[in-house]
Amino acid sequence: MLKKYSGTVVFFTFAMSFLLLAGGCSQHKIQSTPPSPAVSSPPTAQHEAPVVTTPPGSEESLSTPAPKPVHSFTILEGRTTGPMLPVYFNFDRSNIRKDQISRIEGNAQYLRNNSQATIVVQGNCDERGTSEYNMALGERRAQSAKRYLINLGVNPDRITTISFGEEKPLNYGHDELAWSQNRRDDFVQNQ
């Protein structure tokens, strides 16, 4: 009797599952919304505003001016002002790594091309070590980047430095990936 009953339960369960699945797959008409205006290209090094295009069939004129940017520059990575890039450091080091030279050279090129731009180099550390030690290490990192920029022809009067030590992490994790992203100099343009 138990076998006959359990077979019926299995069959009933299977049938109900099938009906639920079939009912859940009923056809519904999906309404789509027209796409929002797209940005056709990112801002260039000269900080041009992006060109906004409208979707086909829109009533707006193709000559609609692009909206004015809130800032004359953008943030690309970390707290660094674009198109400049942050420079990352090895654990407990303040010298510019070989794989970061192209980044700092690009930052120097940007500053040479934009002679009115002034920046703050912000030294950052990961969470390991004491606050006092990390403040000093962040300052050494910021000074190292400043010296490198000066050696590449940037006027020292246009560069200031500050250390945040471990106080302003970007990644709050407690592993090597997080620590490696927090060991950096940010290059922030003054407004």
Residue 187: Cβ within 10 Å count: 28
Tell which CATH classification among 1.10.3720.10, 3.30.70.330, 3.40.50.1110, 3.30.1330.60 matches the domain 77-189: 3.30.1330.60
Q: Which two tokens stand for residue 42?
A: 């990112």
pLDDT, one tens digit per residue, over 101-156 is 999 999 999 999 999 999 999 999 999 999 999 999 999 999 999 999 999 999 99
Per residue in 33-74, pLDDT (tens digit) is: 444 444 433 444 444 444 444 444 445 444 544 444 444 455
Q: Where are the domains of the chain?
A: 77-189
Judge contact between 104 and 146, C-beta under 8 A. no
pTM: 0.61
**Residue 44 φ then ψ, to 5°:** -90, 180
Which residue in the block uniquely carries the two structure tokens 């980047």? 145
Q: CB neighbours of 2 closer than 8 A, spacing ≥ 6?
A: none
Residue indicated by tokens 């940037």: 154
Decide if 171 contacts 181 (C-beta within 8 A).
yes
Give the separation between CA 78 and CA 65, rounded to whole angstroms: 30
Six-digit token string for 167: 């106080």
